């Protein structure tokens, strides 16, 4: 009954370091997403993947890259971390494949990232 699993749960980076946030879902969903959550700003979409092999930019993609490794896994990479990337990152998945967005997204527990 895992759903969406994110690793790690917490991470502290120094400015300029790189890291990859991992996300996996076991619900056979087509779509996967990465969001960041900042105080007073809700969730903002970084990147999403509508299906295996495709990725698209969201609202705030700068400074990030993603890989849809297979249907289950969608990773988010910070190549050179900056303090502005301090945030809580959420991965989500949805069975949606094109068309009207009438199915919900399922969220992981989040990764709290601090860049010093």
Residues found near another protein in the complex (CB under 8 A): 4, 31, 33, 35, 40-45, 48, 50, 56, 58, 90, 92, 94, 96-110
Nearest 5°: the CA angle 100, 106, 108 is: 145
**CB closer to another protein out of 17 and 72:** 72
Contact 93, 73 (CB under 8 A): no
**CB closer to another protein out of 69 and 96:** 96
**CB closer to another protein out of 43 and 69:** 43
**CB closer to another protein out of 59 and 79:** 59
Residue 6 token pair: 């994110």
In angstroms, what is the minimal distance from the CB of 65 to another protein? 19
User: Quick one: CA torsion of 47, 81, 113, 21, rounded to 10 degrees?
Assistant: 50
Helix (H) or strand (E) holding 87: strand 87-94
In angstroms, what is the minimal distance from the CB of 105 to another protein? 6
Residues 78 and 111: their CA atoms lie apart, in Å, by: 13
In angstroms, what is the minimal distance from the CB of 41 to another protein? 6
In angstroms, what is the minimal distance from the CB of 15 to another protein? 26
């Amino acid at each position: 009954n895992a759903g969406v699993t994110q690793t790690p749960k917490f991470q502290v980076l120094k400015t300029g370091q790189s890291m990859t946030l991992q996300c996996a879902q076991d619900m056979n969903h087509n779509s996967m997403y990465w969001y960041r959550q900042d105080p007073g700003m809700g969730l903002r979409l970084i990147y999403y993947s509508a299906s295996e092999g495709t990725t698209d930019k969201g609202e705030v993609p700068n400074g990030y890259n993603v890989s849809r490794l297979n249907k289950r896994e969608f990773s988010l990479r910070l190549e050179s971390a900056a303090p502005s990337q301090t945030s809580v990152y959420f991965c989500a998945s949805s069975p949606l494949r094109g068309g009207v967005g009438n199915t919900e997204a399922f969220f992981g527990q989040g990764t709290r990232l601090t860049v010093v």
